[in-house]
Structure 1
Amino acid sequence: MLLKHLPAESAVSRSVHGEAADWSVSDHLLAAVVDHLAVSNWMFASANSEEGDQQDPPKPVPRPGDASSDAAQEAEADASASAPAPQEIARFFG
């Protein structure tokens, strides 16, 4: 019962949850905002650039536990492989 009410940054919480204990809800939301802004800027730049000048899609902010998992790296590779073409982005923004 006493362990339930320990602060998120306690040693017990860090030993149980690892690096994820250092991230609050606000940290996760801020990382999501940064990721969405980076993708938005990338889409705008891709839609307004010449065919040979496109940049690679931005990489998301690393979350706790993501860097070591193979599934996260495979998902990132799949996401970059299925990124929309600049013509599709230009059509979307009309």
Structure 2
Amino acid sequence: MDLLDWHRETLSARRLALLVKHLPRESALNRELHGEAAEWSVSDHLLAAAVDHLAAANWMFASVNSEEGDQPDPPTPVPRPSYDDAEPPAAEREPDPATASTASDATPSAVQLARFFG
């Protein structure tokens, strides 16, 4: 697909917006918008939660069955991607007045597209 088709008016803005909206999770755009979180699937989050719960259960068992002075340290959770150290996701950022569109307008404006495609 040639993105210049949008400028040639052979590709509609609606179709372009649909293509961008449904990009794969591992696409460069999703990695730019969401950082490491774009690479985590639901299965990855569930697996991390299962590991954390198992570690907590083992810690509780060891805590109950150990002497008062010999308590184990609580487990550290599996590191998960966060938005704290990077830019927040696009949905949480303040809109830029030069490129802002109304909430009901799902298709990007010409200014937004030009800014995105450089």
* TM range, smaller chain: 0.5 to 0.7
| 2-structure distance, mates of 1:17, 1:55 | 36
What value does the CA root-mean-square deviation take over the aligned residues? 1.7
For residues 31-78 of structure 1, the C-alpha deviation after alignment (integer angstroms, 9 at most, x for no partner) is: 000000000000000000011111111011111017749xxxxxxxxx
Identity %: 72
User: Would you tell me which structure has more helix in proportion to its own residues?
Assistant: 1
Q: Secondary structure, in 3 states, of the residue corresponding to 1:7?
A: coil
The unaligned stretches of length 5 or more in structure 1 are 70-94
For residues 3-47 of structure 1, the C-alpha deviation after alignment (integer angstroms, 9 at most, x for no partner) is: 111110111110011110010000000000000000000000000
Runs of 4+ in structure 1 over 6 Å off: none
Give the structure 2 partner of residue 9 of structure 1. 26
| 2-structure distance, mates of 1:50, 1:57 | 15
* Deviates most, 59-68 or 48-57: 59-68
The unaligned stretches of length 5 or more in structure 2 are 1-17, 87-118
Aligned length: 69
Give the structure 1 partner of residue 50 of structure 2. 33
Give the structure 1 partner of residue 70 of structure 2. 53
Q: TM-score, normalised by structure 1?
A: 0.68
Q: TM-score, normalised by structure 2?
A: 0.55
